Amino acid sequence: MLGFLFGFNARLGRLHYFLSSVALAVAMTLFAFAIASYAFQHAPKGAEPSADLITLPVLGVVGVFLWITFTLQSMRIRDIGWDPVCVIPVWIMILLVDKLVAVKFPGWSVGSGDHETIVGLLINFVLALALAFWPSGPETGSMPNPGETRRPREEPPETPRPPPPIPTMHSATPTRAEFGRRGR
């Protein structure tokens, strides 16, 4: 079931992942400005917009963009050759444990208002670098980057063919029964 949630068994190369992430960030920014402008336009004159006005649109947009983000990441993880059904839940669990450690031990957190340790930051950074720069896995069907050719499928080696027969040498003087010779 998690396989259907995380990417529909598709693969996404490095460049396509990067461009999709940039496009997603631009779309998220546009939606945030649209929701904020809606809140300011529909607020009573002279009053600040209330959170009740934008709660449902924000929750809907956050849900959609989280699903798209997980789908993009799982497609890229699958292209690397890892199993996203294992990697993404482990990544989320590590971040949750990291958050709990930072809340229980505030001295270990990165800053006074942050609820993340340096270990969580490093894990996020390393996984983000892996998604951006790790080459595609060896499976066939991975998407090549522009300018690259698709890797050929690995086929079993051919059985060696016997060498062609060596032609026999003919004598320089033709015999009488040779084809095409005129009779005397």
In the predicted model, is pLDDT for residue 170 greater than 80?
A: no
Instruction: Using a pLDDT cut of 70, give the percent of the chain over it.
Output: 76
pLDDT tens, residue by residue, 36-60 = 998 888 888 888 878 888 899 999 9
Give the end-to-end CA distance of the chain in Å, rounded to a whole number: 92
The pLDDT of residue 35 = 92
Using DSSP, state whether 140 is helix, strand or coil: coil
In the predicted model, is pLDDT for residue 29 greater than 90?
A: yes
- 37 versus 162: the higher-pLDDT residue is 37
Using DSSP, state whether 146 is helix, strand or coil: coil
In the predicted model, is pLDDT for residue 143 greater than 60?
A: no
Q: What sign does the CA torsion over 69, 70, 71, 72 have? A: positive
The single residue listed with the structure tokens 């051919």 is 158
The pLDDT of residue 10 = 80
Between CA 166 and CA 12 the distance in angstroms is: 53
Between CA 22 and CA 136 the distance in angstroms is: 20
Q: Are 37 and 92 in contact (CB under 8 A)?
A: no
